[in-house]
Structure 1
Amino acid sequence: MRIEDLDIGDVVFAAHAITDDGSIPNGLEGEVLAEAGARGVITMIGHVEEQPERSVFLVRFEDKNMTLGSPIGCWAEDLTVESRHETIPGGFKLS
């Protein structure tokens, strides 16, 4: 499945560490907003006015306590539909 085919409410994962590029109000540029592999949910899908063919996804990622954070604007290349961790019988995760 392609990221572009997803909809609001779909689960995604951070393809890499997502950092503040300076566009978060009152944020710290370079701060890690979502760790690589973090699970999130799409809350809105939009487009950049200057690039209407390019989608931007608002995603709320879970932290280590499984608490959803504030929405983060992500490009399709920031996201993946597959977890970086595999669960094996017994509930153990491989990374």
Structure 2
Amino acid sequence: MSASSPGKFEWGQRVRATADLFNDGSYPEQPENALLVRAGDAGEIVQVGSHVETETPVYLVEFGEHRVVGCLEDEITPL
């Protein structure tokens, strides 16, 4: 993440999903559009990065059962 676009959340922070999160094709073993995380599920940020072209912060969040899902800032909130 660049200094010009700091993220709202930090590595190791506990968060909650603000919306249902569905498979966008990132989980080939799951059907596309399958529900991965329910709104309200808790998780922990395990990596922070950004989209290269837009510098949009992207958070990898582990939501139980070792399921890591990429989330945007409007898809999570602090616990």
Taking structure 2 as the reference length, the TM-score comes to 0.81
Count how many residue pairs are aligned between Structure 1 and Structure 2: 73
Give 1:40 deviation, angstroms: 0.3
Give 1:43 deviation, angstroms: 0.1
Give 1:26 deviation, angstroms: 3.2
CA distances 1:44-76 after superposition (whole Å, capped 9, x unpaired): 001112212x100000112xxxxx332111111
Q: Percent identity?
A: 30
Partner of 1:32: 35
Partner of 1:57: 59
Structural RMSD (CA)? 1.4
Distance 2:61 2:45 in 1: 4
Partner of 1:71: 68
Distance 1:69 1:24 in 2: 13
Give 1:5 deviation, angstroms: 3.0
Show structure 2 runs of 5+ residues with no match.
Answer: 1-6
Bigger relative contact order (CA 8 A; separation at least 6):
2
Taking structure 1 as the reference length, the TM-score comes to 0.68
Change in 2 beyond 3 A, CA 1:27/1:50: farther
The structure with more radius of gyration:
1
1:1-16 matched pairs, under 5 angstroms: 4-16=7-19
